[in-house]
Amino acid sequence: MTFNVAKTFPPAIIYMDEVEQIFKGKKKKKKGAGGAAGPNFTKLRKVLTKYKKKVLKKEDRVAVIASTNKPWEMNKKFVKPFAQKKFYFPFPNYATRKALFENFM
């Protein structure tokens, strides 16, 4: 429904946070571990990828922005058809954080 509304009222931005949960890679099972700890996003991942590829066109003027702070947990095979461009912004080090904090105070 979100994609349909964005397509109807362009220009629009769809923002998705913590996408590592949707495009999660498989983890190795530990002995004695129980069932899955969280929800299974496999169906959502398939629907999102198919919908974005087939329904949204460049002339629709809809931007989909996905962010994560754990890119190493994502499976590149699942992310590739969904994301056209990827940008990596590393966390600032201590000196940079200190300088930014001092400038704002």
Model confidence over 42-97: pLDDT tens digits? 777 777 777 776 777 778 888 888 888 888 888 887 777 777 788 888 888 888 88
Nearest to residue 46, comparing CAs of 22, 27, 18?
22
Q: What pLDDT, on the 0 to 100 scale, is given for residue 69?
A: 83
What pLDDT is stored for residue 17 in this prediction? 86
Average pLDDT of 19-47?
Answer: 66
pLDDT greater than 50 at residue 35? no
Q: Are 26 and 76 in contact (CB under 8 A)?
A: no
pLDDT at residue 30 is higher than 80: no
Distance CA 41, CA 23 (A): 8
Sorting pLDDT into bands at 50, 70 and 90, what band is 38? Answer: low
> What is the rounded distance in angstroms from the CA atom of residue 70 to the CA atom of residue 13?
22
The pLDDT of residue 31 is 53
Element (H, E) at 64: strand 62-67
User: By three-state DSSP, how is residue 12 classified?
Assistant: strand
Write down the domain spans for the chain.
2-104
